[in-house]
Each structure stands twice: as C-alpha cells, then as structure tokens.
C-alpha cells in the first residue's frame, strides 16, 4: 500500500508540475494575444478601417496604390511644366503686342 501511496504522490507532483507549465504557457499566450490586439487597435486607428479583410486588402495593395500616386505626381508635374511654358509664351506674346501698340502709338 505504501507503493501505491508513493505512486499517487509522484502522480500528484507530475500533475502539479504539468499544471504550472500549462499555466505559464497560457499566460505567455495571453500576453502575446494582448500584444496582437494592441497592434490591431493601432492599425485600425491609423487606417480608419475596422474590418480585418479590408485592412489586409489595403496592406496587400499598398504597392499598387503607391505606384498610382507616383504616376499621378509625375502627370501633375508634367502638367505644371506645360502650363509654365504656355504662360511664358503668352507673356512673350503679350509683351510683343504691348511693344507694337506703344510703337504704333508713339509714331502717330
């Protein structure tokens, strides 16, 4: 009977160690879950999105979105240069017309 008692003590000790190990593992997983939840909250706050699928889609499409924005910037810069060139040409025409009018007015 003493053997049975020793066996029960050993089983109790093993179960207690196993229980402590599981508790430690559970606490570590809980901390990891809290970190993930905090990160998700920051992502939601930064993106304004609450749906996980929408956040993932936005993340997956970010390169395409950046390329589109860069192309829009290039197009806008080209348009600005075209407008500047047009402005310079029109200013030169206006100056030439003003000079012609002044010359004509002076000759009268």
Single pTM value for the model: 0.49
Mean predicted confidence (pLDDT) in 20-27 = 98
DSSP state at residue 61: T
- The more confidently predicted of residues 34 and 59 is 34
Encoding tokens for residue 36?
């993930």
Average pLDDT over residues 1-5: 91
* pLDDT of 106: 77
The residue ranking higher by pLDDT, 102 or 78, is 78
CB burial readout 3-27, b (16+ within 10 A) else e: eeeeeeeeeeeeeeeeeeeeeeeee
Cβ neighbors of 47 (< 8 A, separation 6 or more) are: 55, 58
């Amino acid at each position: 009977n003493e053997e049975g008692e020793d066996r029960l003590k050993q089983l109790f000790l093993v179960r207690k160690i196993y229980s402590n190990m599981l508790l430690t593992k559970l606490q570590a997983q809980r901390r990891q879950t809290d970190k993930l939840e905090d990160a998700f909250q920051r992502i939601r706050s930064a993106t304004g999105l609450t749906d996980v699928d929408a956040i993932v889609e936005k993340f997956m499409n970010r390169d395409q979105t950046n390329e589109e924005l860069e192309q829009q910037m290039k197009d806008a810069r080209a348009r600005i240069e075209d407008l500047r060139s047009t402005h310079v040409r029109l200013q030169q025409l206006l100056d030439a017309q003003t000079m012609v009018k002044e010359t004509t007015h002076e000759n009268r």
